[in-house]
Amino acid sequence: MLYSILIYVPEDLVDAMSTEDMDAHIARHLRVHDQLGKQGRLGPVVRLMPTTTAVQLRTSTAPHVIDGPFTETKEQLLGFYIVDCKSLEEAIEVARSLPSVRTTFEIRPVKLFFPGGEMTPILPLNQALP
């Protein structure tokens, strides 16, 4: 089953990291990428740009766009992984292996959705595109 691992971090902590600390942090992520990739279990990994680049489309009243994320949270969604795991417990172990800086990981099963089609992936995660 596919699981998303959403990474929430207080953005000021990330902004305060030195170049050396950030490089070391990324190196730890890359070790996890390599391990999961060799096992054919790594799907898309996304690093979101800073919240200062974000806008929201709110539809609670008349639809409108506002600057910034401004959700009711101290942590911001920094990025996410999609991993292929046999169980929730296995997905939790993957999240535990990721580096963290006062991080909250939200782990949730996901389904691939193709409107008008089957809810199955076109290719297995470990199969390369032709």
| CATH fold of the domain at 2-48+76-110 | Alpha-Beta Plaits (3.30.70)
* Residue reference for tokens 């990739």: 37
Instruction: Encode pLDDT of 47-103 as tens digits.
Output: 888 888 877 766 766 665 555 545 456 678 889 999 999 999 999 999 999 988 888
Q: If you average pLDDT over residues 2-13, what whole number do you get?
A: 90
Are the beta carbons of 66 and 58 closer than 8 angstroms?
Answer: yes
Q: If you average pLDDT over residues 100-120, what whole number do you get?
A: 71
Are the beta carbons of 95 and 21 closer than 8 angstroms?
Answer: no
Beta strands in the chain (DSSP E): 2-9, 42-47, 55-58, 64-67, 76-84, 104-110
Average pLDDT along the chain? 80
pLDDT tops 60 at residue 46: yes
Boundaries of every domain in the chain: 2-48+76-110
The structure's pTM equals 0.74
What whole-number distance in Å separates Cα of residue 103 and Cα of residue 78?
Answer: 10
